[in-house]
Structure 1
């Protein structure tokens, strides 16, 4: 055993150990020092970094480390440059735990003040996104990065589960008194790491000298001799930190009765199973630490009985046990799941090799249940050039050679670790041909070239309303006012989670994706997902490939999956789920209609389709015309065209943007809407009449945000249009919505006619802040801007009334208050005109005032116009308006007589 023990810190101290998830680095932290070992270069001295004193937790992410300290500070460090990056948080009381969240973009911190604080890592301000008062001291945190769930261990023995899928966390479940009660010890300054759920070395802070004698450490059990443990001492040493399974589905909890129970996140009301002790190992004293292996097949736990036990997930029993010669403090698996390293309370680390037979005992549950699907799915993610993306969070290939007894503790490791299981080329990536053929050979890196047949379509990309590209290991598949679906990369598959803004409608659910799902469509009843086969069709080969389409109802009452045989070079560009039909459109212009039961009902061919949406009656398709122009079609579900191949007024050649379309949806009154990269919301008007359709810009979202939001680099991610309110997600500091997703916001529509704020910001660009000069006395500008505001209100009212009237006439609106809204718009129309009449009267422009009066519809509005003219002593205008009223009355009387 001695050869497996390494003295890392001669001064002793409780020692954190963490392995890199992507490479062969081991991070060992103790006594305000972090040492970085390259396991492939055992002869090389470790690199050293000074960290904050009094570390209570130590976590590593993608080239970063997070340290929470008992002085209330949380620090982040760059593991490449070995420098401190920032102080994320300062708390008045000590912090006990900090973990990375949302793919490493955020950090969740908790401590003695009982507050959970979510802090931004990527932004320079490191602002606190949310704060939750849990009303109890926090002992430890564990985070599920797949489902964005936080397991919060409380000092009173409770375990609370919080959802961080949105910016406002939600408590999903509380396990009452399942953990050891630490209230008597968590605030004790001499507590042996109790407030982090792990024991501290009781002589951490009073080391009188160096101790580099391993034999003495082993003889002493790694710590000074102590009195037999009482109730409080047991509580100090007992772990209260649960651990999430790498798949994100399971949570292993060390209970107060020294059992390890496992819960499924889909049903936290009862345990899924409990690990059973066997002759191969069990714990007779409290558990100090536990962790799942990276491949999820095994669980390792170490206890105060100086035992390291390996548990098998499939059999739910212990399969291997080791004696630990000194007091353990933490444990970590290497990325190949065949070696465990334990950090002790005396500055040592101990290596244990897990028998290969043990590693092979388990056949992954997903492999058994989804084996056929996994064979079909490739889980390859490509960028727009068709090259494979670097997977920043995925571990190495499970089949790669493990370190075994080599590395830090043995002989030379002169082989290259294939971090992403993709093979290496001179430029670090495989070519597109290698990806397609599965070759890992050393070939020259090259861009994908399309055959001439497909050259013009190289700009086409799969599109989902609200969808985003991959951000490290996660992406949004679709976002709309109902909710959103998001995907997280796993080892060999993805995990898709479906979440709702109104959690009373449906319960959040998740499933494993073995089909490389990259497009989706969602409504209040279900979700439609598809693997577009985009990466399989990039090179334009003559081989036919298959796309996969999956439908799920939110209540799981009806699910189906079917494959779509595609033409050579074809891939799905968009899918749409409506109340009574499903559509799948492709890069070669095939439009396939399916029933909600997965039956093909209609097939049509048109120019290459860029995007599609459908309602209960209509289908809108956006088609590719040229590299500089898109067209649109509007037809009913049976194929009758209302508009065909009409030009779409959005910019297609938008440099640096992933897709020219930011949003495509039907308004609540059934009118098609589209949002381009300029963030102007266009609504289609008069589309039921041939050759009359026109796109009306009803809102410039960028300008609207400048009116209602503060700060720079704020954009709107479009979701929908409800009556006169634009629904969107506020995006700050990035191009796409981040994790966690903020709740939707609303903005009143306002036509971009150049109103007061726009005029002032254009002319007063030298003014600090928002550019508005509040002290300006430029009267002509005020006159013009005031007029623009009244004009905008009038035009907006006309547009809204026209849209609503068409919908009512054609029985396309479901709102029972539609008639009342139309009547209210008629009143607003006259009111907007009267404002302009008043402006013209004030300016003495009698001709303009009378012209506007002729447009007034209600006699009461005409009477009001006459009174305004009379107050300003415009007798001629009063006479004209009165004659107009009399003429209208005569016409009405004649009409009644007839």
Structure 2
């Protein structure tokens, strides 16, 4: 038999589904059900509750304010009533089918309503004619919940999919969908699929078909920690404590379970019968409540008896249980004096406290009580900032954290993604991909290839917890941090070997870890937290070591004998460091480029950063350095073999892709590689910032340089077509010239080692450039005689020195009847033949 609670239940409704919710101030507990009345229980008062006598029957949803309650009923009405009088204030909305849930936004301005209809209605409480309708879901919605900030609305659909809507935008939009987590439930079933938001707003918990409780991070949709093993029946209700330290869950097998959020372990387990809804008192009182299918409400004061459990309930806010919490990484960056991200959040007005990003909003300290009147809290219940001193105080007397610090770019590993849940990609390129799974006590690493006829996939248990990897056609390189007294490790595994031992393991000196690693066909490279660049042969023989001039280090990449490193340089006028790059020839021990500026430009308008950030660094398939920035621009470095002559040239601006011109698609691109004169990437949608599982598909885009030419509107379509053709050919000319320059640089760099096919490639590309110029000349001739000056300039750009292309240009002008231009071209040809130059 189930246990009896320590206090008897209080009759609240006739037998049937009964719902409850606290008012925002925690002073009232509203209870409603199938009766035509509701009850308001006053916190800490055991007398009779206030009765709301004139509500509609069959209430299926409750949302409470401090002095009002909103009830959604079986007859399709959503009404607002005064509390405690119970007077009807207004009918908010009506539907043709039964209401299933209502959710009140944190600012209490909006009410979201779901019913058995195929839509969600969001109603303005203060102007009920203002209604927004959401229809992205194909089935009825069973549950609705706002996150604590009011930014997101989570809708649990009967088709087993969670729909997350971004509702703070002028037009609410679907932010993401999460499939495979909740169970398919009909709207009238007692089991729950509700998304219950953690108080920190970064994640929510929901019941799974396996009767576990899964935590989901909202920003990336990744599965985080799981509460499992305590329920053998369908879960009926979930509730976080006010500070997120405890989680309560009830199930159809008469189990009530109290969990520790940090450890996901069971603290207490009770055998109470027929619980269908549970809630904690929302201001930290040791009061726990639930309703049953018998219409009873249980209000249990002093619910937690154990002193350790009570300390959890009364303690500070606890963060949502992540596998790899981004806030931990931010804390490590600040406390360890590691680089902060470019464009970190701005300082607080008047109190430039650099710990704000770590500590979060002041509301996280609301648990502090000024019980001795010493002034810990001000009249608004907030911490005073007097301990910080005046913003304009004397610097020597102020904390060092208050001193202005430049914004520096954090280090990153090219091709790696951040943790999402317990998974991350360590490397993504055209050879394959490396990914790891955190198993708490160890990691498991999987390496998969696209060409499985040439390479064999492998999988291994990873006790070192490798957090960086590189993959190429010859082998896989891993790096792990120092841990538990063990040194940081660099590990190389070739794909093929002819010896008994097939791998190479390198231990870094004590206190040194790899910030980023790179792998070429000849060398292993590691840039460490000591700002050393260490270079080994593939099987561990040290070759070079030097210290970077621009620090802290950001990233590195290698190709053949060349190593490219990037670090933080001088601070610019915007307070952000300039990124500096160097390219070194390891075999010759020479610098091709030494501490030159990495051209990033300004940040995109939607970003809070002052300057664009570096997203990827890699070498193309023919050995040219490439970068991809936060503006979505792909750039390649030309003339990089000649010291002081290198230039960053944009090959593609993804914001200008034709697929985005209609404005209907909102997507970004994760860079993978540059090969075959195409940009290979992964398309990210739904607010994603990095690829996730299952393995994403690769997409490729042709280069299209952002060459600007205004297309003038003509009197007819033909003039429009000529202008568009001219713009297309101008872009093709600049692009072909740039690619020609890259090949020419390669041949000149190889010298006598250049092959016949490489030299022939230059001649072929010169002819291609001249063909584009002849087509562009024809467009200018069609425009009329007034374009003759530009047409003659185009002729001067021809690469061919034999005179054949210039003769062809004269024929083009003659074909279009431009006799004066034809004469000028022939005159130009004669001067060039006589060696008088192009003037």
Query: Smaller-chain TM-score range?
Result: 0.5 to 0.7
Question: 1 CA distance for matches of 2:378 and 2:691?
Answer: 31
Does the Cα contact within 8 Å between 1:52 and 1:69 map onto a contact in 2? no
Assess, with a 3 A threshold, how the Cα gap between structure 1 residues 794 and 94 changes in structure 2: closer, same or farther: closer
Instruction: Give the match for residue 306 of structure 2.
Output: 356
Instruction: Give the match for residue 230 of structure 1.
Output: none
Instruction: Give the match for residue 389 of structure 1.
Output: 357
Instruction: Give the match for residue 182 of structure 2.
Output: 152
Choose the corresponding residue for 1:97, options 143, 165, 174. 143
RMSD across aligned positions (CA): 7.2
Q: Map residues 203-214 of structure 1 onto 2, 5 A cutoff.
A: none
Instruction: Give the match for residue 696 of structure 1.
Output: 649
Verify: 1:614 aligned to 2:542, yes or no: no
Verify: 1:661 aligned to 2:707, yes or no: no
Shift of 1:794: 1.3
Shift of 1:61: 8.9
Does the Cα contact within 8 Å between 1:58 and 1:67 map onto a contact in 2? yes
Shift of 1:463: 2.5
Q: Secondary structure at the match of 1:688?
A: coil
Verify: 1:625 aligned to 2:570, yes or no: yes
Does the Cα contact within 8 Å between 1:332 and 1:341 map onto a contact in 2? yes
Verify: 1:50 aligned to 2:80, yes or no: no
Q: Secondary structure at the match of 1:624?
A: strand
Choose the corresponding residue for 1:837, options 777, 780, 796. 777
Does the Cα contact within 8 Å between 2:672 and 2:680 map onto a contact in 1? yes
Question: 1 CA distance for matches of 2:509 and 2:427?
Answer: 28
Verify: 1:331 aligned to 2:278, yes or no: yes
Shift of 1:727: 5.9
Question: 2 CA distance for matches of 1:841 and 1:311?
Answer: 79
Shift of 1:792: 2.9
Does the Cα contact within 8 Å between 2:256 and 2:271 map onto a contact in 1? yes
Shifted more, 25-34 versus 634-643: the winner is: 25-34
Instruction: Give the match for residue 836 of structure 2.
Output: none
Instruction: Give the match for residue 509 of structure 1.
Output: 437
When the two structures are aligned, how many residues end up with a matched partner?
684
Choose the corresponding residue for 2:592, options 628, 635, 642. 642
Shift of 1:120: 3.3
Question: 2 CA distance for matches of 1:330 and 1:749?
Answer: 58
Does the Cα contact within 8 Å between 1:530 and 1:575 map onto a contact in 2? no
Q: Deviations over 1:558-611 (max 9, x none)?
A: 999989869xxxxx997455566454477xx94454779999973415244474
Does the Cα contact within 8 Å between 2:470 and 2:517 map onto a contact in 1? no
Instruction: Give the match for residue 418 of structure 2.
Output: 485
Assess, with a 3 A threshold, how the Cα gap between structure 1 residues 861 and 652 changes in structure 2: closer, same or farther: closer
Shift of 1:687: 0.9
Does the Cα contact within 8 Å between 2:795 and 2:825 map onto a contact in 1? no
Shift of 1:112: 5.0
Instruction: Give the match for residue 662 of structure 2.
Output: 710
Does the Cα contact within 8 Å between 1:661 and 1:674 map onto a contact in 2? no
Instruction: Give the match for residue 461 of structure 1.
Output: 408
Does the Cα contact within 8 Å between 1:426 and 1:444 map onto a contact in 2? no
Q: Deviations over 1:82-123 (max 9, x none)?
A: 999954447675322346799975555454567765533343
Verify: 1:803 aligned to 2:746, yes or no: no
Instruction: Give the match for residue 731 of structure 2.
Output: 792
Assess, with a 3 A threshold, how the Cα gap between structure 1 residues 415 and 454 changes in structure 2: closer, same or farther: closer
Q: Map residues 820-859 of structure 1 onto 2, 5 A cutoff.
A: 825-839=765-779, 841-842=781-782, 843=784, 845=788, 848=792, 851-852=795-796, 855-856=799-800
Which consecutive residues of structure 1, in runs of 5 or more, have no partner in the other structure? Answer: 132-147, 156-185, 188-192, 199-239, 277-281, 402-412, 417-421, 432-440, 466-477, 489-494, 514-519, 532-545, 567-571, 761-772, 890-898
Assess, with a 3 A threshold, how the Cα gap between structure 1 residues 739 and 263 changes in structure 2: closer, same or farther: closer
Does the Cα contact within 8 Å between 1:297 and 1:359 map onto a contact in 2? no
By relative contact order (CA 8 Å, sep 6+), the higher-ranking structure is 1
Shift of 1:828: 3.1
Which consecutive residues of structure 2, in runs of 5 or more, have no partner in the other structure? Answer: 51-64, 74-97, 217-221, 313-317, 336-343, 348-353, 442-466, 495-502, 834-839
Assess, with a 3 A threshold, how the Cα gap between structure 1 residues 505 and 841 changes in structure 2: closer, same or farther: same
Instruction: Give the match for residue 764 of structure 1.
Output: none
Shift of 1:452: 14
Assess, with a 3 A threshold, how the Cα gap between structure 1 residues 512 and 10 changes in structure 2: closer, same or farther: same
Q: Secondary structure at the match of 2:778?
A: helix
Shift of 1:663: 3.8
Structure 1-normalised TM-score? 0.55
Does the Cα contact within 8 Å between 2:678 and 2:701 map onto a contact in 1? yes
Q: Secondary structure at the match of 1:151?
A: coil
Does the Cα contact within 8 Å between 1:35 and 1:46 map onto a contact in 2? no
Instruction: Give the match for residue 492 of structure 1.
Output: none
Q: Map residues 715-864 of structure 1 onto 2, 5 A cutoff.
A: 719=671, 722-723=674-675, 724-726=677-679, 737=689, 748-756=702-710, 787-807=726-746, 825-839=765-779, 841-842=781-782, 843=784, 845=788, 848=792, 851-852=795-796, 855-856=799-800
Does the Cα contact within 8 Å between 2:470 and 2:478 map onto a contact in 1? yes
Assess, with a 3 A threshold, how the Cα gap between structure 1 residues 29 and 101 changes in structure 2: closer, same or farther: same
Shift of 1:693: 1.5
Q: Secondary structure at the match of 2:417?
A: strand
Q: Secondary structure at the match of 1:851?
A: helix
Shifted more, 857-866 versus 347-356: the winner is: 857-866
Question: 2 CA distance for matches of 1:262 and 1:459?
Answer: 43
Does the Cα contact within 8 Å between 2:583 and 2:591 map onto a contact in 1? yes
